[in-house]
Amino acid sequence: MSGLAHANSFRDLIVYQKSRVLSREVFTLTKGFPKEEMFSLTDQVRRSSRSIGAQIAEAWAKRRYEKNFVSKLTDSDGEQQETQHWIETALDCEYISRAQADALLAQCAEIGRLLGGMMAKAGLFCNPDALSVREEQAPYFTTTDD
């Protein structure tokens, strides 16, 4: 690949790091939303933006099975698209400016592209040899001499 270091944890993934930045920016921006939006728009956009990284972390834990890995990445991509919807809703309600919306939407799009690349190359992340147990398995059954 392009000289990128091997990821030892989901925290090493650029897409995860970018999802955390997006989540923090959404949180900060939504602090200025009207109080009557606290349990609707504010809560929704915060939850969806936070879930992007959470789904990436879950995907990492499911790398043993490529289909499960891709499924969780798909969930993460769905969350980033939901976040786009809520950002556009905040724009429609005039809670954020066009510039703020465009910046957040660009971050979402970049995260989406990174997730798409991971899904397309899932086999590179799901190497069964790297995930296999290297120790001898313990016996499940014991024999007794009667």
Is residue 9 scored above 80 in pLDDT? Answer: yes
pLDDT range class, residue 1, cuts 50, 70, 90: very low
For the domain spanning 10-126, the CATH number is: 1.20.1440.60
Is residue 129 scored above 70 in pLDDT? Answer: no
Cβ-based burial of 89 (10 A; exposed 0-12, middle 13-18, buried ≥19): middle
- Find the mean pLDDT for residues 87-113: 97
Q: Determine what percent of the chain is predicted with pLDDT higher than 70.
A: 83
Res 7: pLDDT = 82
Q: Which of 19-23, 49-53, 129-133 has the lowest mean pLDDT?
A: 129-133
pLDDT range class, residue 8, cuts 50, 70, 90: confident
Q: What are phi and psi of 94, to 5 degrees?
A: 65, 30
Q: Closest Cα to residue 114, out of 48, 15, 1?
A: 15
Statement: the pTM of the whole predicted model exceeds 0.85: no
